[in-house]
């Protein structure tokens, strides 16, 4: 069994929805054979593009107790979906059924304008986007004669008291549901949404629908998890800044996580962890070009090869200088506790005998952090910085790899370098103004010679 995930742009219009259905059929035909018949697939869908933003806007009005503003957005959303019904379905029975479903869904949204509104109700509202898209696609497939079953993600997807996926619960519940609904060719479910440990509607936050697909794949021991987007896999550099980039055909899970964390927006860094631990390959595919090979992510490591470059913007560098405190026992712990108290992760860190430099990508509490750090030394700040990450087999025994990177940036000032913390990346902190030039020169040095 395979898992196929389609994002919001892939189901963003009725034509795209029809295209997704065609892709599902195409993938089944490729995987199946005449003796075994059609290979079942689990399909994970996001909300139609734009819908989640509308639902968040409705919530914002309700927080402000502006029922009229919320109802205006609900009415607009209802009209949009009613139009989709005429475009997507062909029979009167299915059209009437879906009109009734959308009417009930919108009335449910309107019900929140009459009561107290909290974050719990907001999560119920935001969950409606995936519920709408999956019901529409499932109804269209049934109308077209597909043997399809719609599964509710909130029946099996749950987080624990730490807001982390409850892996044992997910595996037990999902497999029980699939066994009770055996015999279908296609199982459709929602990405992103779940219940929390207290039974309330919630969401997976990090990675959203990609995370759902990875969790499902791990739970059922899938043959492969496919993430379908509108580009043909991870590229070896950012095509917005560098010409003639190429899709990377294979990545190790660790390499993919590094790229995702440091700027490759196609994938969230944590969403493939369940697949990694279960040893299930993840394939990134392009809905616009389904014949493209895409990128396969697995546990295979190709030795001696640099794979890709990514960049992360909006970085702030913080330097503490203190000849009195740096070598004192507990100094680093005190510094880290300051960042922890303000829930601000550190991206990079370098040390010397009298100085400590760190970078962060969240400056929400920067002023408070700086004031706390001044207790231990003089503090300087560099803003509008950028982390450039070079990913591949970067074990320190590979002679010359770090030299190639520095040679490419010989005319660009480098504020910090992180090398050795991972066998899979070299990270360099530079000015954001130098980013485009740095990416282009790295591509020239690492991939085009």
Residue by residue, DSSP assigns 356-378 as EEEEES--TTHHHHHHHHTTTSE
In this predicted structure, what is the pLDDT of residue 119?
86
CA angle 233, 46, 172 (to 5 degrees): 100
Any idea what DSSP says for residue 272? T
Contact in structure between 414 and 390 (CB atoms under 8 Å): no
Q: Tell how strand 425-431 and strand 378-392 pair up.
A: antiparallel
CA distance 312 to 99: 44
CA proximity to 263, closest of 45, 384, 427, 433: 427
Q: Tell how strand 295-298 and strand 416-419 pair up.
A: unpaired
Contacts of 350 (CB under 8 A, 6+ apart): 356, 357, 416, 417, 418
CA distance 250 to 233: 10
pLDDT along the chain (449 residues), means of 10: 92 93 89 64 95 95 94 96 94 96 96 88 94 97 96 96 94 97 96 94 84 96 93 89 92 90 74 91 92 92 91 94 69 90 93 87 95 92 95 82 86 91 90 96 87
Torsion angle (degrees, nearest 10) of CA 265, 269, 274, 275: 50
What is the model's pTM? 0.88
CA distance 295 to 246: 11
**For the packed helices 128-143 and 92-111, what is the interaxial angle rounded to 10 degrees?**
170
User: Hey, which bits of 186-334 come out as E strands?
Assistant: 186-190, 193-195, 201-203, 224-229, 250-252, 282-286, 295-298, 306-321
End-to-end CA distance of the chain: 42
In this predicted structure, what is the pLDDT of residue 395?
83
In this predicted structure, what is the pLDDT of residue 34?
42
Helix (H) or strand (E) holding 350: strand 348-351
In this predicted structure, what is the pLDDT of residue 265?
66
């Amino acid at each position: 069994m395979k898992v196929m995930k389609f994002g919001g742009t892939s189901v963003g219009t009725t034509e795209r929805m029809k295209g997704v259905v065609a892709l599902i059929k195409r993938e089944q035909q490729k995987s199946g054979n005449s003796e075994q018949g059609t290979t079942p697939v689990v399909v994970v869908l996001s909300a139609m593009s734009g819908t989640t933003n509308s639902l968040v806007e409705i919530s914002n009005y309700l927080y402000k107790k502006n029922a009229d503003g919320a109802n205006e957005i609900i009415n607009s959303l209802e009209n949009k979906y009613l139009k989709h019904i005429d475009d997507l379905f062909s029979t009167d029975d299915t059209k009437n059924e879906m009109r009734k479903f959308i009417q009930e869904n919108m009335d449910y949204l309107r019900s929140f304008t009459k009561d107290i509104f909290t974050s719990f109700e907001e999560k119920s509202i935001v969950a409606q986007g995936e519920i709408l898209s999956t019901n529409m696609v499932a109804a269209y497939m049934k109308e077209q004669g597909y043997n399809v079953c719609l599964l509710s993600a909130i029946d099996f997807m749950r987080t624990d008291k730490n807001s982390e996926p409850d892996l044992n619960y997910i595996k037990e519940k999902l497999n029980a549901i699939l066994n009770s609904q055996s015999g279908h060719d296609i199982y459709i479910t929602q990405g992103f949404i779940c219940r929390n440990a207290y039974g309330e509607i919630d969401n997976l936050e990090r990675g959203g629908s990609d995370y759902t697909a990875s969790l499902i794949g791990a739970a059922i021991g899938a043959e492969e998890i496919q993430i379908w987007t509108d580009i043909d896999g991870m590229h070896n550099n950012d095509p917005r800044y560098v010409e003639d980039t190429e899709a990377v055909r294979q990545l190790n899970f660790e390499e993919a996580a590094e790229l995702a964390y440091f700027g490759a927006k196609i994938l969230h860094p944590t969403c493939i962890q369940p697949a990694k631990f279960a040893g299930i390959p993840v394939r990134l595919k392009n809905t616009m070009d389904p014949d493209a090979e895409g990128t396969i992510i697995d546990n295979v490591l190709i030795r001696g090869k640099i794979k890709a470059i990514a960049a992360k913007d909006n970085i702030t560098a913080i330097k503490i200088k203190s000849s009195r405190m740096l070598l004192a026992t507990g100094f680093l712990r005190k510094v880290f506790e300051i960042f922890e108290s303000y829930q601000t992760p550190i991206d990079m860190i370098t040390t010397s005998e009298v100085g400590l430099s760190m970078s962060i990508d969240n400056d929400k509490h920067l002023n408070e952090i700086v004031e706390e750090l001044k207790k231990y030394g003089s503090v300087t700040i560099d803003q509008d910085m950028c982390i450039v990450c070079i990913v591949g087999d970067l074990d320190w025994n590979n002679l010359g790899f770090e030299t190639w990177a520095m040679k490419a940036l010989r005319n660009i000032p480098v504020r910090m370098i992180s090398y050795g913390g991972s066998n899979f990346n070299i990270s360099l902190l530079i000015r954001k103004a130098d980013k485009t030039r740095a990416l282009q020169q790295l591509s020239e040095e690492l991939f085009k010679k």
